[in-house]
Amino acid sequence: MKKNSSKKEDVAITVKNLHITYRGLKKTSIRAIWTKMGSRIERFHALKGISFEVEKGKILGIIGKNGSGKSTMLRAIAGIFSPDKGSIDLHGNTISLLSIGVGFNKKLTGKENIYLSGMLLGFSEEEIKEKEKEIIAFADIGDFMDKPVKTYSSGMYSKLAFAITAILETDIMLIDEVLSVGDAQFKEKSYNKMKELISDENRTVIIVSHNLDTIQELCDEVLWINDGDFMEMGPVEEVIPKYKEFMENMKTTKTS
């Protein structure tokens, strides 16, 4: 559901020269550890100087092969990861990240996590209470709402995460592959709800997905990242064909 807007809108997100590096120990043997020879630091450059802007009300899709830095980018914009270099400016907008495995305290119940997540998004307890019944109804996980999140299946986790983000609406929504999780009925319900939410011309959305059909249907523009590098950003109909050709060439190279 692309938004048809010909005039220049205010900028909602500005990312400048973003660098993020992961650090960890290289694989080594037990003997090497004991002799203090195997504790060398290994660095992985997840994002290498990425810069772009997203206009208010636009829907941006981020594409790239596995390990290209797409989810790292979303977590950086959400404030979960701190850049090693560069900056992210949300221009005063409220923001939420919809991603499996992010944002819940697994020892707390689903209901308690509604309040925890809502407060982390900047909502007051009174505002969350007004939306509580609607969130519970949309999640539709029954008695599990009063059980610890650590007992949830990935599908139940997805339902609750989506319900909280969808009902407690923020200015900017970041969506990381979550629409691909859950039973068929919930997928349809969440997809329809997502189309309703992003039809609001004041809401800015970034979607990470390997499903190019979803990107083509929902997004105005596409950002293509490859191995942490900026490849291209532009209209869906221009960038996706180039990405498909790139991936086909990679397959051909590997098999030749």
Interval 28-38 mean pLDDT: 54
Residue bearing tokens 């691909």: 180
* Token output for 19: 């660098």
pLDDT digits (tens, 9 = 90+) for 222-254: 999 999 999 999 999 999 999 999 999 988 877
Query: 54: Cβ–Cβ under 8 A, 6 or more apart, which residues?
Result: 11, 12, 13, 60, 204, 206, 221
Domain locations along the chain: 7-30+42-93+209-256
Cα Rg for the chain, rounded, in angstroms?
20
Shortest CA distance to 94 belongs to which of 172, 168, 167, 166? Answer: 172
Please tell me the pTM assigned to this model.
0.81
CA 170, 118, 140, 162 torsion-angle sign:
positive
pLDDT digits (tens, 9 = 90+) for 129-152: 999 999 999 999 999 999 999 999
CATH of the domain spanning 7-30+42-93+209-256? 3.40.50.300
Q: What is the rounded average pLDDT for all residues in the chain?
A: 86
DSSP-assigned letters across all residues of 36-74: T-S--EEEEEEEEEEEEEEETT-EEEEE-STTSSHHHHH
Give the span between the Cα atoms of 152 and 165, in whole angstroms.
18
Interval 45-59 mean pLDDT: 95
